[in-house]
Each structure stands twice: as structure tokens, then as C-alpha cells.
């Protein structure tokens, strides 16, 4: 008997239906929530560091400008996080809808096969039984009904998936509409132009101590904005590809700016090092074994770990080192500060945007607070 089919429009093939990718939604939802939480925490800490760097109060026009900037940026990050978490909730809710639609399509195929029909990759339905004149009409009708049922359920699966994609794309567009003040114009050469009523020389070698410290705080704020623009965003629309690539290219400019400011601050006798890390004698201000643990402390991972340069260009510029496990994961020891206990910073590097995680050492939680 000829295969029964329908011309009701494009539908997925049988193998596509049976292997429909749904698990990625669950993984994406977890990753988006983790990214949103991480950057909210980072910006809260960043604001505290600007308000009282190293626990020291500082005042003046530069401080006011830096606080205004980071307060506005924090509000944007909070709104970003709300949208990202909303997208994660949407992804979670969509998993059940997709599984139900897939199950209905697979059940329709199984019912046809149980009735003695063969269902092809193109969802065509062919009778496998020997028929005679008395049963031909009934079997033809059954074949048409099975074919229509299969294709209808297949189209529902495709429509459900398409609707979910449209909703997530809408979230991406909503996220894209909330921008930082001055986004897209990260200053590369101007080391102080963002401060109100406090124009600095473009050349960092000409900055005074106060100007250099203020420029450093602005750099930290710009870096935080950069990280949010380039990593917290889980969506990149097709028309954003060029802008997103340009954003990634800005990393080198920020690293160059940081290196120049660090050099000037060292000339002025100011060391910019993380709390709890001391510079090694005679090492031009570079910390000893930056990122490596004290003797006797090892990352909680099986297999061999190998010491090597840190992945972040800014850390490489400071001589930073990391421990790399056999799966390509990167482990960096953080010695602790007023907000954190000693812990590991870990990145599995299993995707271009894999987030950093805080891993406890022993019974101490990574954070000191509740």
C-alpha cells in the first residue's frame, strides 16, 4: 500500500522527535542563575571596596564620582539578574511542556506501529499487513488517521519548541535594552575623563598619586562593567555578534590600561595587591606565587595537577599562576580577606563562558559572613 502522508507543512523527522534536545534547558537555567548570583555578589563587594578600599575611608570628588558610577552600575546588574533569573524560570517551566509534547508524538508513532503500520523517517505511514478487498478501505482510513495524528503531534512539538525559543529571545531583547551608562564606549586611553570636575592627564605617567588612585578605582569600575557586559549575558542575538566580539576584544585594552596604572602606582610607592598577599622581596612588586596555595594545601580533585600560567591576561601580567587538573579545570588559591575565608577559585573551562566558582577549603565556607 502507498505510504499515507500529509502536505500540512514542514515537521521534524522521526529521529529528531525521538532525540529532541530538552536537557540543555535545565543546564542553561542552572548556569544562568549561578551567573546572576555571582555578579550580584561581585558588584556588592565591588561597591564596598570602592567605598572603603582596604578598609580605609576616602573622600573627595573622585570618591563621589566612583560611588555614583558603581551605585548606578549595581542597579543595572540587579535588573540584569532579575531578567536572567526570569529566563531561567521560563526554561525550567518549559521542560515539562517540551517533554509532554515529545511524549505525545512518540506515542502517536507507537500506536501506528502497534496497529500494524510502519512509520518512516519522514513520518509516512505504510501498512505492513496483507490486505484484501474487504479490508482495504478500513486499512487506508486507519493509515490516513495515524499519519494525521503523528504529524499533528510532531507539529505541536515543533510549535512548543519554537514558542519557547521566541520567549527566551524576548528575554534576551529585554536584557539588551537595559544598558550601563556609557556602555559601548569603554575608555581605553583616557584614565580619568569619567570623573566629574576632575580632568586627569591621558598619560598615566603624568598622574599624581591621588589622580592615579582615583583612576585605579575607575578602572575597577570599568572592569566590573566589562565583566557584566561580556559574561553575565547568557543570550547573544544574531545582530549582536559583532558588538559582542568587540566587547571581548576590549579585554586587551583594559589589561593594557591596568598595567600602565600599576606601573605608575609602583613609581609612586603604592602597591595594588589583593588583601592578604604580600609582595616578594626584590620581585618588582609582584606577589610570590600569586594564585598558588601554601605547602600542604591541595585542590579537591582526583589525578595530577600541573602548575601553569593563569588563564586571565590580567593575572598573567602580574605573574599569576594556577593549578590545572587533568580535565582542563583551573584552580587558584585565594588567601582570604575581611569578606572571605581562604578558598579555591575554580573554573572547569568546559565552555567559553563557564563561570568561576568558590570552593571551600576544609570546613570553612568561602564567605566570612552569614
Picking from 131, 120, 169, 145, the residue whose alpha carbon sits closest to that of residue 14 is: 120
The continuous run of DSSP H or E covering 330 comes out as: strand 330-334
Determine the Cα–Cα distance for residues 217 and 192; give it in Å rounded to an integer.
Answer: 10
Other Cβ atoms less than 10 A from the Cβ of 304: the count is 9
pLDDT number for residue 35: 77
CA 61, chain centre distance (Å)? 35
Angle at alpha carbon of residue 358, lines to 24 and 227, rounded to 5°: 70
pLDDT at res. 225: 63
Q: What are phi and psi of 281, to 5 degrees?
A: -55, 135
CA-to-CA distance for 91 and 93, rounded, in angstroms? 6
Sheet holding 357-360, edge to edge: 306-309, 321-324, 330-334, 343-347, 357-360
What's the pLDDT score for residue 285?
A: 34
Dig out the grid coordinates for 146 from the structure.
Answer: 495515524
Read off φ and ψ for residue 57, nearest 5 degrees.
Answer: -70, 140
**What was the pLDDT predicted at 18?**
92
| Per-position pLDDT tens, the chain of length 370 | 434 444 445 789 999 999 988 887 878 888 888 877 877 777 777 666 666 655 555 566 666 666 777 777 777 778 888 888 888 888 888 888 999 999 999 999 999 999 999 999 999 999 998 878 888 888 899 999 999 999 999 999 988 888 888 888 888 778 777 776 655 433 322 222 332 233 344 567 777 777 777 777 777 767 666 655 554 444 445 455 566 556 656 766 777 777 788 788 878 877 664 433 333 333 333 334 678 888 778 899 988 888 888 887 666 666 778 899 988 899 999 887 766 788 899 989 887 677 888 898 888 888 776 5
| Cα→Cα distances 160→8, 47, 97, 106, 236, Å | 17, 42, 7, 15, 22
The pLDDT score that the predictor gives to residue 109 is: 94
Cα dihedral 298→303→306→307 (10° resolution): -10
| The predicted structure's pLDDT at residue 116 | 92
Q: What is the pLDDT of residue 277?
A: 35
Q: Which pLDDT belongs to residue 227?
A: 59
Q: Which three cell numbers stand for residue 73?
A: 552600575
| The overall pTM is greater than 0.85 | no
Q: Where are the domains of the chain?
A: 14-267, 289-370
Beta-carbon contacts of residue 123 (< 8 Å; ≥ 6 apart)? 5, 11, 13, 14, 109, 147, 150, 151, 154
Question: Helix, strand or coil for residue 307?
Answer: strand
pLDDT at 340: 75
Amino acid at each position: 500500500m502507498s505510504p499515507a502522508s500529509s502536505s500540512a507543512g514542514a515537521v521534524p523527522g522521526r529521529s529528531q522527535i525521538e532525540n529532541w534536545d530538552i536537557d540543555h534547558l535545565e543546564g542553561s537555567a542552572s548556569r544562568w542563575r549561578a551567573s546572576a548570583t555571582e555578579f550580584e555578589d561581585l558588584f556588592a563587594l565591588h561597591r564596598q571596596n570602592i567605598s572603603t578600599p582596604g578598609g580605609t575611608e576616602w573622600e573627595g570628588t573622585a570618591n563621589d564620582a566612583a560611588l555614583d558610577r558603581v551605585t548606578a552600575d549595581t542597579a543595572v546588574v540587579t535588573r540584569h539578574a532579575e531578567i536572567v533569573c526570569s529566563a531561567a524560570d521560563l526554561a525550567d517551566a518549559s521542560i515539562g511542556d517540551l517533554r509532554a509534547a515529545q511524549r505525545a508524538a512518540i506515542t502517536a508513532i507507537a500506536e501506528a506501529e502497534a496497529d500494524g503500520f510502519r512509520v518512516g523517517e519522514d513520518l509516512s505511514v505504510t501498512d505492513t499487513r496483507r490486505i484484501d478487498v474487504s479490508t482495504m478501505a478500513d486499512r487506508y482510513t486507519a493509515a490516513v488517521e495515524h499519519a494525521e495524528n503523528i504529524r499533528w503531534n510532531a507539529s505541536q512539538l515543533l510549535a512548543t519548541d519554537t514558542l519557547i525559543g521566541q520567549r527566551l529571545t524576548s528575554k534576551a531583547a529585554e536584557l539588551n535594552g537595559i544598558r550601563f551608562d556609557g556602555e559601548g564606549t569603554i575608555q581605553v586611553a583616557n584614565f580619568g575623563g569619567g570623573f566629574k570636575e576632575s580632568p586627569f592627564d591621558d598619560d598615566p605617567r603624568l598622574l599624581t598619586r591621588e589622580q592615579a588612585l582615583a583612576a585605579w578605582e575607575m578602572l575597577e569600575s570599568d572592569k566590573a562593567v566589562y565583566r557584566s557586559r561580556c559574561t553575565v549575558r547568557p543570550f547573544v542575538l544574531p545582530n549582536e555578534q559583532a558588538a559582542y566580539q568587540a566587547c571581548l576584544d576590549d579585554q586587551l585594552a583594559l589589561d593594557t590600561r591596568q598595567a600602565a596604572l600599576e606601573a605608575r602606582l609602583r613609581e609612586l610607592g603604592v602597591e595594588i595587591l589583593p588583601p592578604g598577599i604580600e609582595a616578594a622581596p626584590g620581585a618588582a612588586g609582584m606577589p610570590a606565587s600569586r594564585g598558588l596555595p601554601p605547602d600542604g594545601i591541595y585542590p579537591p580533585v582526583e589525578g595530577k595537577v600541573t602548575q601553569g600560567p593563569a588563564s586571565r591576561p590580567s593575572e598573567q601580567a602580574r605573574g599569576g599562576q594556577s593549578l590545572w587538573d587533568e580535565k582542563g579545570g583551573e584552580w587558584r588559591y585565594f588567601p582570604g580577606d575581611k569578606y572571605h575565608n581562604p578558598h579555591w577559585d575554580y573554573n572547569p573551562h568546559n565552555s567559553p563562558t563557564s563561570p568561576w566558582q568558590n570552593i571551600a577549603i576544609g570546613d570553612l565556607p568561602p564567605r566570612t559572613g552569614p
